[in-house]
Structure 1
Amino acid sequence: MNNMNTSKIIACGATLLLSSCGIYTSYEPQTSVPENLYDEEVTVSDTASIGNIHWRDFFTDPYLQDLIEKGLAQNTDVQTASLRVEEAKASLLSAKLAFLPSFALSPQGGINTVEGSKASHTYTLPVTASWELDIFGKLRNAKRQAKSAYLQSEDYKQAVYSSLIANIANTYYTLLMLDEQLEISRQTADTWKETVESTQALMDAGQADEAAVSQMRATYYEVENSVMDLEEQINQVENSLSLLLAETPHKIARGKLFGQQFTSRLSVGVPLQMLSNRPDVRMAERDLEQAFYVTNQANSAFYPSITLSGSAGWTNSVGGLITNPGKFVTSALASLTQPLFNRGTLIARRRIAKAQQEEALLAFEQKLLDAGTEVNEALVSYQISKRKKDNYENQVAALEKAFTSTSLLMQHGNTTYLEVLTARQTLLNAQLSQTANCFKEIQSLINLYQALGGGQHI
């Protein structure tokens, strides 16, 4: 009885010792983030986040929804990500199967003869089995590492989805911005053409000189060139969007920039919420988790490997006798392999594993800082663009009145063509800037959506 108690105490002590050596310990997920990861304006008290909104609910433009559907179905990066998931799944299955015995059939046969005697036929039909006992956690840590790699491949697939959705949306709204700028430039060109004709009429009546007509005509040609530049840019952006969809270049059906609707509930969530949403953050932690289990495996390499093996089958060759029919034979063997002369190599491997684990931790912490910066920049850009919106509307309205007034004054001879020229050019720049600011507001919201882990495909 005392011997049994002593054995139990020794077994418990050995288990605690092995656990303290980093063989059976499990990875503990990170639960802390750097202080002031967000600015005060960014952090909110609840955990609701626009990153939790499905992309179909976030992007309501039907044309854009169709484009995103095509991209998710056809984009080559998405297909590659799916294949990576399958590869990781197969690796995880292999790690799980390592816990089971391995079986092999090794049939052998031969013909023996001596001069003048009858040939004798021998055969052996054994089934061999081998089973490594995972007493020191080598297989267990390998399985956990494979599982982490599989989950990381899922996170990578999600990251590809999120990035693709954001890229398609940004490219789509770039098209809408260029469409709006093209329309403004064409209207301006038409207005300048009328102004040139009016100024020509004034010159014919002796109320304007050749310099005024030449300047107006030169400005008209400049606006015409900007129209053609915008048409070229639109073609290039359409080609880029076709490439994202894995399609040949073609015209893209689309809506209008102004009037686009997005969620009015803008909440980014607390830092821990971002940890569970952003796939790149999860991938960085998966690297840390895998490095942790690699270190465990490096620790377990210092302990012996125990393997049970055996065989069972039929043979007609038993000792020096040949019998027919054959006899059923079995064998069993237990082996223990203890590293003796490669301890220096094992120590070096453990040091490498620990260093790589520290590197993974630093990379994870840096990823958190990068994530916080992206959220801050996107949110501030969105807020500023939104505040500038009213200013641009008031500015354009004021410049439209100024241009109308200067045009009328010129027709009545109370102002010069240079004032009309300046008023029209200033109005055009303000209208183009207003359109660019509208796009920037939408783009910032898209970037914020992606920075918070939005774009979930499921």
Structure 2
Amino acid sequence: MTHRPLFLVWVIAGALSGCMVGPDYQKPETAQPGSYREHIGTSVTSLEGQWWQQFGSPTLSTLIEESLKNNYDLRLATERIEQFRGRLESIRSGLSPQIGASLGATRSRNDPFQGTALEGLNRPSNRYQAAASVSWEVDLWGKLRRQSEAAQAQVQGAEYAQRAVALSLVSAVTEGYVNLLGIDAQLAIAQKTLKARFDALHIFELRYTRGAVTQMELSQAQNDYWATKSVIPGLRTALAQNENALSVLLGREPGPIPRHETIEQLKQPEVPASLPATLLSRRPDLLEAEQAVIASNAQVGAAQALYLPDLNLGGLLGFSSGHTNQLFDSASKVWSLAATINQPIFTGGAISGEVRQAKSAYRQSVLNYQGAVLSALSDVNTALVDSRESRTRLSDVNNQLTALQTYAGQARRLYEGGYSTYLEVTTSEEKLFNGQLQSVQSRVDLMNSLNLLYKSLGGGWGGITPVMQAKSDQPQ
């Protein structure tokens, strides 16, 4: 048969399509220190699962679950995954033959007697066609497979990006909730202190009218009262700001956030210790950066394949007739096979420019990945030091608070016994008030440092289950 050589071309092309040009991926070298700057705590198992439950707060767990369902940044990251999956599907389709069908009818007139005495004798004719066609760009050099490899890495990178957003979201919600509890405690201290100073001021006003205290002592009591009162508006503003910010993280309108425990009732999570090697497989942002390297490496091969010839195969099988009742007769059968080779000869630097861009993009992705690893190691070391020093600071502040309570009690007793001025009482109580606020803030700082430590170690993102279908209007 005359079409046998072309059929053999199809078979040979399929056999040759196993070749791939371009470099295969190799993991870039990164910093791998022997240990962290600070090595404290327990095993890495404390990183697994829903680590935020170690705070012992059902309310916090409920808020985190709500944020993982409703947060807009996370839903946006989920949609990006679908976008890259669609792109991968489109690219992979090029690896398979494309099959189509057509059905058509035409009516035309071609008068060979035009301009002669016989003009107009030729009548219009009809032509009916029904055919199936197939076309295939044979991936001889792996251009499409490299593009598919890059697209697959982009899908994986988008999934890791979603996990990174989820991990950051959990950390942000935890920090926001801890801050709210801290402000609650500071506000309670300020209101309690304000009431005590209001009562003291009332007593001093009565004593002043009777001449038992001086104007200076009355002024000191007034100063104490108004100084304490001036702290409360700032705390209330901070409370509203934190509630509004946390509401946005939860994907709801700004408003009050329920709290069912105090900052003192939160448990302190364990301080985990992890080997540096495990960090590269724990932090989703590093895994995302590595997928970018894989994708850009594959794009180099896809660009280099542009130098080589393309082979396109096509075929058609169908029927063509001038009468509908004869369309599917054997005499109306038509077919064709075709093979086309396109070889770039001169492109004015277009292909070399593509290759140059791809290689530069690859080098940039490697540098970005290596820099991200260093930043991650720095984050962990900083967080470990911060958690240790925050714990020490809380202990020191609490010891200071105990001393200030004794100091304030002694100063008031000495004043009431006539052995000291009221200035000494004012000074001691002001220090005690600031010490109480500082103690709460130190506890908040410790909780937040432990929260950031888990985030820096990439802890528990495998246990985070963000909503996989974004709640957005889907086109029908």
TM-score, normalised by the number of residues in structure 2: 0.85
Q: What letter corresponds to residue 72 of structure 2 in structure 1?
A: T
Question: Which residue number corresponds to residue 98 of structure 2?
Answer: 102
> Contact 2:308 / 2:343 at 8 angstroms: preserved in 1?
yes
Cα displacement (A) at 1:450: 1.0
Q: Distance in 1 between matches of 2:408 and 2:356?
A: 74
Partners of 1:208 and 1:413 lie apart in 2 by 12
Query: What letter is aligned with 1:374?
Result: D
The equivalent position to 2:368 in structure 1, one of 363, 371, 375, is: 363
The one-letter code sitting in structure 2 at the alignment partner of 1:33 is T
- Aligned 8 A contact 2:398 2:439 in 1: yes
Residue 89 in structure 1 maps to residue 95 in structure 2: no
1:306-321 to structure 2, matched below 5 A, reads 306-316=311-321
Q: Does 1:75 align with 2:71?
A: yes
Q: CA deviation at 1:51?
A: 3.7
Contact in 1 for aligned 2:36/2:276 (Cα 8 Å)? no
The equivalent of 2:4 in structure 1 is none
Q: Which amino acid aligns with 1:436?
A: Q
1:33 pairs with 2:39: no
3-state secondary structure, aligned to 1:383: helix
Q: Deviations over 1:283-314 (max 9, x none)?
A: 11111111101111111111111111111111
Counterpart in the other structure of 2:350: 345
What's the offset of the Cα at 1:415? 0.4
Give the residue type in structure 1 aligned to 2:80: R
Of 404, 407, 420, the match for 1:402: 407
1:170-181 residue pairs with structure 2 within 5 A?
A: 170-181=175-186
Paired residue for 1:327?
332
- TM-superposed deviation, 1:126: 2.1
Deviation at 1:146, TM superposition (A): 0.6
Structure 1 portions without partners, runs of 5+: 1-10
Cα separation, 2, equivalents of 1:137 and 1:357: 18
Give the CA deviation at 1:348: 2.0
Q: Name the SS of the counterpart of 2:232 in structure 1.
A: helix
Contact 1:99-1:139 within 8 A present in 2 as well? yes
Change (3 A) 1:43 1:180: closer
Contact 1:207/1:413 (8 A) holds in 2: no
Q: Is the 8 A contact 1:50 1:449 kept in 2?
A: no
Q: What is the alpha-carbon distance in structure 1 between the residues aligned to residue 34 and residue 300 of structure 2?
A: 30
2:315–2:335 Cα contact (<8 Å) kept: yes
How far 1:35 moved relative to its partner? 4.5
Query: Unaligned stretches of 5+ in structure 2?
Result: 1-11, 112-119, 466-476
CA distance in 2, matches of 1:323, 1:94: 35
Mean alpha-carbon deviation: is it higher for 225-234 or for 80-89?
225-234
Measure how far apart 1:49 and its partner are. 5.5
> Judging changes above 3 Å, is the alpha-carbon distance between structure 1 residues 149 and 359 closer, same or farther for their aligned structure 2 residues?
same
* Residue in 1 that maps onto 2:204: 199
Is 2:289 aligned against 1:284? yes
Name the amino acid aligned to 1:430: G
CA distance in 1, matches of 2:362, 2:138: 27
Name the residue aligned to 2:116: none
Q: Does 1:453 align with 2:455?
A: no
CA pair 57-178 structure 1, distance change in 2 beyond 3 A:
closer
SS at match of 2:308: coil
- Change over 3 Å in CA distance of 1:379–1:226 after alignment to 2: same
Partner of residue 470, structure 2: none
Identity of aligned residues (%): 26
Contact 2:128 2:327 in 1 (8 A): no
**2:319–2:328 Cα contact (<8 Å) kept:** no
Aligned-residue CA RMSD (Å):
2.4
- From the superposition, tell whether residues 282 and 447 of structure 1 become closer, same or farther in structure 2 (CA, over 3 Å): same
Q: What is the aligned partner in structure 1 of residue 215 from structure 2?
A: 210
Change (3 A) 1:47 1:363: farther
Q: Post-superposition, which runs of at least 4 consecutive aligned residues in structure 1 deviate over 6 A?
A: none
Partner of 1:4: none
Find the residue that maps to 2:171 and give its secondary structure.
Answer: helix
Instruction: Between 437-446 and 382-391, report the one with greater CA deviation.
Output: 382-391
Deviations 1:7-41 (A, max 9, x none): xxxx9xxx9xx76xx53x431334x4314386432
Change (3 A) 1:299 1:194: same
**DSSP-derived class of the 1:333 partner:** strand
**Contact 1:288–1:357 (CA<8 Å) still a contact in 2?**
yes
When normalised by structure 1's length, the TM-score is: 0.88
